[in-house]
Structures are given as structure tokens and as C-alpha cells.
Amino acid sequence: MAAPAALGIGATGLGAASTNTAANVDHTIKFGNPGDQPITGTWG
């Protein structure tokens, strides 16, 4: 796994300090990341 990347989108919306890229959104949709945990690796 790579170093923690930006946060994804969670129930509370966009993380204040996050950079929500298309890859992070894709990860959130496919893997159900709650958005309040670091996303690691590269998803595409």
C-alpha cells in the first residue's frame, strides 16, 4: 500500500482538508470507504 492519500467523500460531505479526486470518489463508490479514513493505494 502507498502512503495515505487524500480523504474521500463521506456522509458528512467533502473533507475540509481533502483533495477529492476522481480516483478517491471511485474508491469510495466501489469499496464503501466512509470518507473519514485515509485512502491508500491507487484506484482507477
Q: Distances in Å between the alpha carbon of 23 and those of 9, 30, 40?
A: 11, 11, 11
- Per-residue buried b or exposed e for 1-37, using 16+ beta carbons within 10 Å of the residue's own CB: eeeebebbbeeeeebeebebeebbeebbeeeebebee
| pTM listed for this prediction | 0.18
Local confidence pLDDT in tens for the 44 residues of the chain? 444 445 554 444 444 445 556 666 666 555 555 555 555 555 44
Closest among 33, 11, 13 to 23, alpha carbons compared: 33
pLDDT score for 40: 56
pLDDT score for 32: 58
Instruction: List, in sequence order, the alpha helices (H) in 2-43.
Output: 22-31
pLDDT score for 8: 54
pLDDT score for 24: 64
